[in-house]
């Protein structure tokens, strides 16, 4: 039996991951750790919720001891866009929050730590197509710098202390439950909401911007499959590339037009264009496929259909 704490449970991935883990392990076994954001009704109804801040080690210790936590997942992060506006905040949350969690896991001899990484570890000198697992890691954002350091730190805890620390390099994650906040890939979620609400969208990166992306059901599957994989079969620990699909913004718009022919898109690139341009078009995830059987289910059109249906329902109910 596992007692899991998800730090950052109110966020885009954390909110759905917490519910998915509760479905597998039972509601009482998975504590939702939220900072300021009010947890959703679904989180409150399905298991324990606690106020947790990755930067407050004493508060973390209290929750870990109260629930006898032996698996900790750190979903708290300042993403690329917000990070460029406030680099010191990104450093503080992404590095000091992470080291608090790793140290606590070491002190309490936890069974497992999950520390997510991102395609933001790559930079302009990284090969852009089918980016290999082992390649140049010279990001030009503070978020990317903290993610490279986080991967190295996690791997260090594996080697130095024999701990079980794992992580994957998430591409842009697209979902309809909880909005993303402060990332460069946020346009790939906003486009669907605006298509439903206003039938038009002004995108902050240009039409030819191509990035690796993944739909939330695949993100949950990748995360949980990596957590459950046999440790001895892992040739990497905190830095698995995971791909699912890649497309330009113009291709997204075409996919949406198949359902909403009158949809219009325009472009007003801002500072996030440079960030997007420094990231790969697509990643090679063959080590994840070989080591723990990674295989995505969704492509662009399947995701578009699902996203428009789900957001359309919310719109009809007056929720957005």
Residues found near ligand AKB in the complex (CB under 6 A): 79-80, 118-120, 143, 170, 172, 183-185
Q: Shortest distance, CB of residue 30 to ligand AKB, whole angstroms?
A: 23
Contact criterion met (CB below 8 Å) for 143 and 120: yes
The distance of closest approach from Cβ of residue 58 to ligand AKB in the complex, given in angstroms and rounded to an integer, is 29
Least distance to ligand AKB from the beta carbon of 180, Å? 6
Eight-class DSSP state of 131: B
> Among 143, 187, 201, 240, which one carries the catalytic annotation?
143
Q: Give the residue with the Cβ less far from ligand AKB, 50 or 285.
A: 285
Active-site annotation holds for 143: yes
Nearer to ligand AKB, 46 or 80 (CB): 80
Dist CA 98 CA 76 (whole Å): 9
Measured from the CB atom, the residue of 19 and 283 that comes closer to ligand AKB is 283
Give the dihedral sign, CA 260/181/110/44. Answer: negative
Cα(239)–Cα(284) distance, integer angstroms = 12
Longest dimension (CA), the chain: 58
> What is residue 283's three-state secondary structure?
strand
- The smaller minimum CB distance to ligand AKB, of residues 47 and 171, is found at 171
- Rounded to 5°, angle at Cα 281 from 278 and 287: 110
Residue least distant from ligand AKB (Cβ):
183
Pick the closer one to ligand AKB by CB: 143 or 294.
143
Phi, psi of 166 (to 5 degrees): -135, 155
DSSP result, 173-242: EE-SSS---S-STTHHHHHHHHHHHTSEEEESS-TT-EEEEEEHHHHHHHHHHHHHS-GGG-S-SS-EE-
Contact in structure between 186 and 180 (CB atoms under 8 Å): yes
Nearest distance from C-beta of residue 225 to ligand AKB, angstroms: 19
Show Cβ contacts of residue 170 under 8 Å, excluding neighbours closer than 6 positions. 13, 116, 117, 118, 119, 214, 219, 242
Contact (CB, 8 A) for 91 and 149:
no
Distance CA 164, CA 155 (A): 9
Rounded CA-CA distance 29/193 in Å is 34
Give the nearest distance from C-beta 12 to ligand AKB in angstroms: 8
Using the minimum distance from each CB to ligand AKB, give the nearer residue, 22 or 221.
221
- DSSP 3-state of 114: strand
For residue 200, how many other CB atoms are within 10 A of its CB? 14
Cβ proximity to ligand AKB: between 167 and 172 the closer is 172
Residues carrying an active site annotation = 143
């Amino acid at each position: 039996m596992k007692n899991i704490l998800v730090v950052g449970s109110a966020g885009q991935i954390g909110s759905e991951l917490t519910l998915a883990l509760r479905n597998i392990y039972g509601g009482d076994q998975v504590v939702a750790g939220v900072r300021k954001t009010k947890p959703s009704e679904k989180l409150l109804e399905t298991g324990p919720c606690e106020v947790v801040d990755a930067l407050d080690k004493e508060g973390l210790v209290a929750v870990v001891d109260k629930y006898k936590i032996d698996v900790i997942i750190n979903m708290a992060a300042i993403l690329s866009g917000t990070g460029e506006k406030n680099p010191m905040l990104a450093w503080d949350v992404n590095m000091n929050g992470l080291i608090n969690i790793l140290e606590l896991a070491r002190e309490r001899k936890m069974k497992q730590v999950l520390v997510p990484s991102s395609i933001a570890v790559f930079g302009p000198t990284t090969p852009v197509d089918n980016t290999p697992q082992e390649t140049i890691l010279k990001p030009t954002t503070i978020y990317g710098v903290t993610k490279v350091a986080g991967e190295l730190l996690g791997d260090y805890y594996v080697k130095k202390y024999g701990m079980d620390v794992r992580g994957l390099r998430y591409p842009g994650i697209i979902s309809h439950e909880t909005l993303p906040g402060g990332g460069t890939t946020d346009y790939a979620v906003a486009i669907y909401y605006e298509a439903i609400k206003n039938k038009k969208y002004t995108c902050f990166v240009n039409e030819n911007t191509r990035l690796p992306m993944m739909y939330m059901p695949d993100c949950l599957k990748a995360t949980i499959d990596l957590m459950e994989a046999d440790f001895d079969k892992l040739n990497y620990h905190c830095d698995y590339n995971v791909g699912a699909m890649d497309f330009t913004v113009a291709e997204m718009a075409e996919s949406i037009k198949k359902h909403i022919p009158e949809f219009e898109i325009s472009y007003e690139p801002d500072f996030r264009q440079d960030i997007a341009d420094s990231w790969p078009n697509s990643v090679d995830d063959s080590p994840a496929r070989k080591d723990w059987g990674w295989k995505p289910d969704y492509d662009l059109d399947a995701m578009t259909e699902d996203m428009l249906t789900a957001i359309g329902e919310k719109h009809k109910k007056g929720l957005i």
